[in-house]
Structure 1
């Protein structure tokens, strides 16, 4: 039987992060993912908080919620799940590999949302174990948004064979928008998202986790890339982002967007070397 944790209000993310770190040290049994779901009902978005988020990510000010802001709302549910003693993998050092957001229709500011999240499909990865985190948002009985986030837990083990890497089409390159990312970008995004993972906050903590310097949040990258084409997106779409290499801050990146038919191909690259950092695609739902 599925265990359900129902949150009555927004939790304190710093406290949950601390609990997730503490509980992860005692996880010895990697027998499988728990049958656990975290929910929060009747969530109403604060217009001021939305405006602050839009400012940091580059979205315009309007009464429609960006697809990535829905991830922002379910993120505390995800961390609550990761902090549960039944969850077998440690939060610290985990890496967000891929993120797929499905918008079924525009979601307006003021619509009360019922949110839920759970995990599935733990499987081997060449560097550890990857897990899918599924999230949904309903307005009443209507499913309006879905999220599928894939996390890598480095150094962990699970039975099975590492699946082959799928073939991919070429990522767009060439001229694009050049963004100069300030060293405090991680702290500014943390202030509007609640994601206070130390790898995004200070260089010294990022280095302690094995990164060369502070790295930008993957969800900031996805948000900024979607914000660049937000006025040309359909009402219903699927946006997939694959986070290939860390976006180091401070730094300079180049965002390339190419449209083929109704599909957008997006890429975020190191501006000097051209290295692909984030690859994205946005397709309409017919």
Structure 2
């Protein structure tokens, strides 16, 4: 596919994008546009400091591996709320996330991001697509993210692949943390993701959840911060499947393999609820 790139001086305001998202509540097509967005985005030191504190990353001179996701979030929002994008933002479900850190994320003042969507596939509950975000510095590609999103109720031709519901193997506990009732609002303030399902029980109930749930990318960031001693500074991939949502408030337990070039992790709640499973390995 020949992709049509639009180069931006800066992303649109989040307020205008959320207003656009609120106005679109229905699926308007079954094909992804071949458009992509590109933009240079600077690191905001105050925001970076707040993110490190929120997700328990040390200030070691490098960007946390998940932080480019935060930098690019508004650009992703702009792509998925564009007039030609066929799926409503509200109601999308984040199923899977993979980040690749190709080179060390140190000494960075800004990055040139590109965002596009592709790989539309049938799913037992609708359809999925991949949102791909890449970041470059003056040398070349530095970081890549793939987020798989579920569009519930989408009807596509073809046979849906069976979802991977296998139970990951037991692992040794690495740490545990408490997800308090306002973590969704605190994460939103730092990262800009104001999806109503994360903000309060009242707003979450509008989308079928009995209580607010934690952001999946907060859980992933907490896991990456806790396991940073298991991973090299670069040349690795860190991927997770989001299973059952973390209802707020609740305690969760992170278990993982021993430190090494490759390993596995899982995030569990009380009552044998598996919230997240994943793995890391060299590129």
TM-score tier (shorter): over 0.9
- Mapped to 2, the partners of 1:74 and 1:175 lie a distance apart of 32
Contact kept, 8 Å, 1:14 with 1:196, in 2: the verdict is no
Matched, 1:29 2:29: yes
- Match for residue 17 of structure 1? 18
Q: In the TM superposition, what are the counterparts of 1:220-235 in structure 2 within 5 Å? A: 220-234=218-232, 235=234
The CA deviation at 1:257 is 1.6
SS in 1 for 2:173: coil
Contact kept, 8 Å, 1:21 with 1:83, in 2: the verdict is no
Matched, 1:114 2:112: yes
SS in 1 for 2:258: strand
Q: In the TM superposition, what are the counterparts of 1:166-177 in structure 2 within 5 Å? A: 166=164, 170-177=168-175
- Match for residue 178 of structure 1? 176
The CA deviation at 1:90 is 1.0
Matched, 1:264 2:258: no
Change (3 A) 1:86 1:62: same
Question: Which range is displaced more, 147-156 or 170-179?
Answer: 170-179
- Match for residue 142 of structure 2? 144
TM-score after normalising by structure 1: 0.92
Question: Which range is displaced more, 99-108 or 175-184?
Answer: 175-184
Deviations 1:222-260 (A, max 9, x none): 100000011331121000010001011111111112127
- Match for residue 8 of structure 1? 9
Matched, 1:252 2:246: no
SS in 2 for 1:122: strand
SS in 1 for 2:23: helix
- Match for residue 203 of structure 2? 205
Change (3 A) 1:20 1:109: farther
The CA deviation at 1:149 is 0.3
Contact kept, 8 Å, 1:214 with 1:249, in 2: the verdict is yes
Q: How many residue pairs are counted as aligned between the two chains?
A: 281
SS in 1 for 2:37: strand
Deviations 1:189-216 (A, max 9, x none): 0011110111111111111101121010
Q: In the TM superposition, what are the counterparts of 1:41-56 in structure 2 within 5 Å? A: 41=40, 43-56=41-54
The CA deviation at 1:169 is 7.1
Deviations 1:41-85 (A, max 9, x none): 2x2212211010011111111220111101111211111011111
- Mapped to 1, the partners of 2:169 and 2:209 lie a distance apart of 25
Unaligned runs of 5+ in 1: none
- Mapped to 2, the partners of 1:204 and 1:5 lie a distance apart of 38
The CA deviation at 1:171 is 3.4
- Mapped to 2, the partners of 1:171 and 1:98 lie a distance apart of 19
SS in 2 for 1:11: coil
- Match for residue 91 of structure 1? 89
Contact kept, 8 Å, 1:23 with 1:85, in 2: the verdict is no
CA RMSD of aligned residues (A): 1.8
